[in-house]
Amino acid sequence: MILFGAGLLVTLVVAVVIAQFASTEPDGLEYVAGQEGFLETAQDHPLAESPLADYGGDSKSNLILSGVVGVLVTLGLGYLVFTVVKSDKTSAEG
Amino acid sequence: MHIPDGFIGPGISAAAGLTAIGGFAVALRKARDYLTDRLVPMAALVAAFVFAAQMVNFPVLPGMSGHLLGGVLAAVLVGPWAGCIVMSLVLIVQALLFADGGLSALGLNIVNMSLIGAVVGYLVYRVLFRLGGSRPAAVPVLAGLAAMISVPLAATGFVLEFGLGGTVESISIGSVFWAILGTHVLIGIGEGLITFVVVGAVMRSRPDLVYGSPTFGGTRSEELVS
């Protein structure tokens, strides 16, 4: 439980604080696509205009919103899926 | 490494979609064999952490960044099959909410970062772990090493898909291969360091929760490399 709390805190700090210092340069795939000449074949994502698109883009408030929403959604979805998936046996500790 | 819509044609994208669904189904069934109550919050937390860490692009070369994939990290912490589910869920959330990775490319991204990144990455980890004498003290370093190798492996998945279904005919696949390999070997160094630090931190506090370590206290699936 302590590990979970500490882990969640670290996760939120990464998503909300450290993410603000992330590099905005293209990633490896995008960089190579630009150099090799197939970057322009990329199509706009249907959600490209969403405030969450590209984790808020240049907007600091949308970046923070993206971090919080993304962490809570993945945590909640993960909890849901893994609760359904888990075996019926319980571990020794219960 | 998230592929947008348009890079790869519909045929290969659909084939990857079917492969991803098949792989996800196998992962669900295999994860059921070992995933106990105790591992549920841990697995959900690993998913949230991988999402968060993927937001943090680090500089790699002038004009180029990279970010953690997290496949080996997830697989060493919660096992290859739950790790595969973790990566798939993160990729689904990124494509559906954050416009990161194309919708038609979701299968391609799951094949590369979940099936290759987590499951094949864990296989690499197991081989290294056996070669390294199966010592708990070596878990963080070997997880980092496997993570480092997993990035060019996942990137090679992209090159294969691009070779089979790339939408631009005139591009030399050999040239794309070397460029992708070179950049992702460098990104892999960051992947390895982050994985080493995070697995090391969990090993120090709760070694019984690290699936890929002999100190793991829970149920285990049949190992991919025994």
CA geometry: angle A5, A6, A7, nearest 5 deg: 90
CA-closest candidate to residue B56, choices B47, B66, B64, B46? B66
CA distance B17 to B153: 19
Nearest-by-Cβ selection for A86 from B6, B35, B175? B35
Contact B2, B100 (CB under 8 A): yes
pTM of the model: 0.96
Burial class (CB in 10 A: 0-12, 13-18, 19+), B185: middle
Question: A interface mutation test: which of B13, B97, B108 has the most A CBs within 10 A?
Answer: B97
Q: How far apart are the first and last CA of chain B?
A: 31
Q: Would you call B48 and A74 a contact, using CB atoms and an 8 Å cutoff?
A: yes
Give CA–CA dist A11/A14, Å, rounded.
5
Domain range list for chain B? 10-209
Cβ–Cβ under 8 Å, residues B158 and A30: no
Question: B14-53: per-residue pLDDT in tens?
Answer: 999 999 999 999 999 999 999 999 899 999 999 999 999 9
pLDDT tens digits, one per residue of B75-115: 999 999 999 999 999 999 999 999 999 999 999 999 999 99
Would you identify the CATH topology of the domain B10-209? Arp2/3 complex 21 kDa subunit ARPC3 (1.10.1760)
Tell me the shortest Cα–Cα distance from B131 to chain A, in angstroms.
30
| Nearest CA among B42, B1, B30 for reference residue B180 | B1
